[in-house]
C-alpha cells in the first residue's frame, strides 16, 4: 500500500514541477530525459504526467520514443499575454 502512496506523491510532485517549469518558461521544448534532468525527478512519474498533460491538450508531443519533444501548447503559452492585454493590441 505504501508503494501506491509514493507513486501518487511522485506523480503529484512531477505535475507541479512540470507545470511550474512551463509556466515560467512557456517556450521550453525538451525531451523526457531533458525534463527529468532539469527537474531532478525520476523518469517514470515525469513520463506518466507528460502523457496525462498531452491527453488533456496542455502539452504537445512531437516525434517518437526518446526523440519525442514536449512543449506547452501554443494557446496556453500566449494566454498570459492576452490576459495582460499584450497580445494583439494595436
Q: Which sequence spans correspond to the domains of the chain? A: 2-83
List, in order, residues 6 or more apart from 65 with CB less than 8 Å away: none
Q: What are the pLDDT digits (tens) for 35-90? A: 999 999 999 999 999 999 999 999 999 999 889 999 999 886 665 555 554 444 44
**Predicted TM-score (pTM) of this structure:** 0.79
Q: What is the DSSP letter of 31?
A: -
From 3.40.50.300, 3.40.1190.20, 1.10.10.10, 3.40.50.1480, which CATH number describes the 2-83 domain? 1.10.10.10
Amino acid at each position: 500500500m505504501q508503494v501506491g502512496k509514493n507513486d501518487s506523491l511522485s506523480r503529484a510532485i512531477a505535475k507541479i514541477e512540470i507545470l511550474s517549469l512551463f509556466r515560467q518558461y512557456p517556450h521550453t521544448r525538451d525531451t523526457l530525459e531533458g525534463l527529468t534532468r532539469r527537474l531532478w525527478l525520476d523518469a517514470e512519474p515525469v513520463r506518466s504526467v507528460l502523457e496525462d498533460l498531452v491527453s488533456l491538450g496542455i502539452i504537445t508531443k512531437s516525434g517518437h520514443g526518446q526523440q519525442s519533444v514536449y512543449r506547452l501548447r501554443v494557446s496556453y503559452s500566449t494566454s498570459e499575454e492576452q490576459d495582460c492585454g499584450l497580445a494583439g493590441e494595436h
